[in-house]
Amino acid sequence: IVGETSIPLHHYELNKDYISALINSFFSSRTKNYQHILSLAFAVKEINENPELLPNVSLGFHIYDSYTNARMTHQNTLKLLSSHKTVVPNFKCNKQKNLMAVIGGLDSEISLYMATLLGIYKIPQVKYLDCLDSRLAVTDVKTHLPSFYRMVPNEEYQYEGIAQLLQHFQWTWVGILTMDDDNGDKFFQTLIPMLLKHGICIALKGKIPATSQAADTLTSFDSILEEAIYLSNASVQVLVVNAETITISFLLFKIYAYAALADILPLAVGKVWIMTAQWDFSADTTQTDMDMQVFDGAFTFAIHLNEVPEFRKFLQTVCPKSKNEDGFTLLFWEKAFNCLYSDSMDGMENNNNACSGEENLESLPGTLFEMSMTGQSYTIYNAVHALGHSLHKMYSARQKHRAVPNRGGVSPVKVQPWQLHSLLRSISFNNSAGDRVSFDENSELVSGFDIVNWVLFPNKSFLRVKVGGMDPQALPDQKFKVNEEVIPFSRRVLPLARCNDHCHPGYRRKKKEGEPFCCYDCTPCPDGKISDQNDMDNCFQCPEGQFSDKNKDNCLPKNLNFLSFTEPLGATLAFFILFSSLITAAVLGIFIKNKDTPIVKANNWEITYSLLISLLLCFLCSLLFIGRPNIVTCYLRQTAFGIIFSVAVSCILAKTITVVLAFVATKPGSRMRKWMGKRLASSVLLGCSTIQAIICAVWLCTAPPFPHFDMHSLTEEIILECNEGSVTLFYCVLGYLGFLASVSFIVAFQARKLPDSFNEAKFITFSMLVFCTVWLSFVPSYLSTKGKYTVAVEIFSILSSSAGLLGCIFAPKCFIIIFRPSLNTKDQLIRRNI
């Protein structure tokens, strides 16, 4: 016994009363939608021919048209609920035709009109395209429309995919077009915050008139130009379009109208279109002369699909036989091939345009009809199979327990539409294309979206290229994928959809006042900071030990900065150190060789030798400041310098005091004679030097100097230096040295007028003046320089002050010893001013 189930689709009932209306209706002119009917018929045929699915039960269907009109939608929905020719709700004469479910409609508004009636009878309604009506959220559907199912994924995934696609191609300055209705407002409200979150600005928002408003808008050229601002705005290269399928006619007409008024070719509009899953590339038969190539290179989010086996073969069997057998096929055939059948040509003299019935579907351009299953047809195909599997589970379960004998056979189990809900919500199966079909907790298809790049050819054929997808079931970092390699090569040069050009590496973005955040100025990074990517909001500091290059887009390793023997400055200073040391050693040798001469004896040779040796060590200790600093050299640099220079200045102080006391002791009755002798000079030398040694010992024990890398003082170099440890003790060493020099200078200055035969005070005064001048100028120079030049300043101060002492005190004596030996006698010494 065969039962018949009615599954209406597309709400399209064809009879002679409607022929004239259908000629001008959406379906009659949009031949591509005929595949929706064929996919329904093919799915029903597959189920009925499958012996393992619904055995002894056959599925049937009725098709009604909504005419995109609320009144017609209500009328045809009521017809589904009545078997009478006139609409009589709740009255059915034909008990064999049991309405179990409804598939439709094509848009959200029509679906909602249907749902308000079907929900009363708890008849499952499976929607196969378009987003939810703006008046209902996903949670509201589950609560208020429990009989409503969507054979499409949640549109939130599509919104997220659009945002990520724009972000992937760095399109941050885009326009949005949507229907001028509640759903369009919802699209704005949902998508715009998501785009802003991803750093994408909205350059313009345009509204495409709804179907009911389109005709009025097209009557005025002024309105066309006003509405077509998104076509004329050259700064907006990318347009995101959310529109129902029917609006492609209006948009295409508007593009051609604008091109004609602007005196340009339609292809010169040159936009990149990103379209939602509602849109399909189909053309009205009234628009076959319009080139769809204006949408070449568009990206669309399409409901995921795979090729359904045998569907192409099924389409190849489609052929009109008689008008009475299949009015759909005849109407489609006449509109698609622009011909007429004999019945349509009654009374016409010219029959050259007659349909032969041998026309080939494969010869039709893709905008009129496709041989491969479209995404919309695929959802219809899955909807039929979902209902078929749900019915199969119900019949299988009940026939096991409730089979009733009837005249030797088994009567089919009677089921009610509301009994399908629990099975439909939990349905899960693999279709013939290998895809899993199931609903989530919100009665929406568990699936994702494919990202398709369209290649349109002048002959009205096109090629779909799947370039990526949005898979909500994948791992978080794999939900969105785009493979640019599969984009046709000629279209890989994508436009720059930006408010202004990129801020290149080395620059950062600076927001323009009063402009969207995508509009900005580019300012160079400051010294020491870089930006190594386009459009960075902030420059960042190079890692420690690196510096920014000239272009401020890369970090280079810093070189070590220390005074080396190999560089010119270090080599020059080392040469002068050695040369000065040799001069000092030569002076010492001269004095040793001539130790018995009067001029050497008169200058207290022990103090003189100590002074020369300390000056020699002063020159040599400068070598500790050249070369890579280490622990040993850092310990010895300042301490050795401080102690040795203290010895040298102490020697000068001892010589000065000796001269003064020698003059005073020669006066009759002077008590200073007992202080004369070597003991006084040695005491001054040891006492003054010991104090400096104690200061240095405290320094080394409490906060000794150590090697230190100064990363920040110089931009391009790391200063390898000896950190003084305790700056206070360092300046104590210098201060004590300055104190000794000042005392020596004062004492020598007071003794400058003593008799010449005993007087070295003039030379000592001048040497101390040079010494003090050098070290007073050292302090500001030391503080104002950095790196190796700081070390060079200290070496120069040591060399110049030591050379000043050596030259001022010993140069006159060496001149007499070497060049005027005749003056180096006791008589001459008493008579002359040494």
pLDDT at residue 495 in the model: 80
Computed over its alpha carbons, how large is the radius of gyration of the chain? 51
Judge whether residue 5 has pLDDT over 50: no
Alpha carbons 428 and 622: distance in angstroms, whole number: 89
Alpha carbons 167 and 216: distance in angstroms, whole number: 37
pTM higher than 0.75: no
405-421 mean pLDDT = 63
Give per-residue pLDDT as tens, 519-553.
889 999 998 899 989 888 899 988 888 888 889 98
pLDDT at residue 617 in the model: 93
SS3 content of the chain, % helix, strand, coil (to 5): 50, 15, 35
Judge whether residue 579 has pLDDT over 90: yes
pLDDT at residue 155 in the model: 84
Q: What percent of the chain stands above pLDDT 70? A: 77
pLDDT at residue 450 in the model: 92
pLDDT at residue 3 in the model: 27
pLDDT at residue 136 in the model: 52
Residue carrying the six token digits 């970090």: 555
The band of 106, judged by pLDDT with boundaries at 50, 70 and 90, is confident
Judge whether residue 804 has pLDDT over 60: yes
What's the chain's average pLDDT?
79
Domain annotation for the chain: domains and CATH numbers: 19-152+306-341+365-398+416-438 (3.40.50.2300), 156-303+448-486 (3.40.50.2300), 510-515+523-555 (no CATH), 568-831 (1.20.1070.10)
Question: 80 and 120 in contact (C-beta within 8 Å)?
Answer: no
Among 177-186, 574-583, 738-747, which stretch is predicted with the lowest mean pLDDT? 177-186
Identity of the residue numbered 227: E
Of residues 168 and 111, the one with the higher pLDDT is 168
Among 62-76, 431-445, 766-780, which stretch is predicted with the lowest mean pLDDT? 62-76
420-448 mean pLDDT = 90
Alpha carbons 425 and 126: distance in angstroms, whole number: 11
Q: What percent of the chain stands above pLDDT 90? A: 22
Structure tokens at 691: 């104090």
Give per-residue pLDDT as tens, 132-142.
554 555 445 66
Q: Report phi then psi at 444, rounded to 5.
A: -115, 150
Judge whether residue 661 has pLDDT over 90: no
Q: Sign (positive/negative) of CA torsion 27, 30, 33, 37?
A: positive
pLDDT at residue 782 in the model: 84
The band of 832, judged by pLDDT with boundaries at 50, 70 and 90, is low
Name, in order, each residue with C-beta under 8 angstroms of 122's C-beta and a sequence gap of 6 or more.
146, 147, 417, 418, 421
pLDDT at residue 680 in the model: 76
The band of 36, judged by pLDDT with boundaries at 50, 70 and 90, is confident
Q: Which of 151, 127, 122 is nearest to 66 (CA)?
A: 127
698-709 mean pLDDT = 91
Question: 446 and 436 in contact (C-beta within 8 Å)?
Answer: yes
425-433 mean pLDDT = 91
Judge whether residue 758 has pLDDT over 50: no
The band of 8, judged by pLDDT with boundaries at 50, 70 and 90, is very low
Identity of the residue numbered 554: N
The band of 229, judged by pLDDT with boundaries at 50, 70 and 90, is low
Q: Report phi then psi at 587, rounded to 5.
A: -65, -45
DSSP type of residue 300? E
pLDDT at residue 27 in the model: 37
Q: What is the DSSP string of 105-157?
A: -SSHHHHHHHHHHHGGGT--EEE-SS---TT--HHHHHHH-TTEEESS--HHH
pLDDT at residue 91 in the model: 64
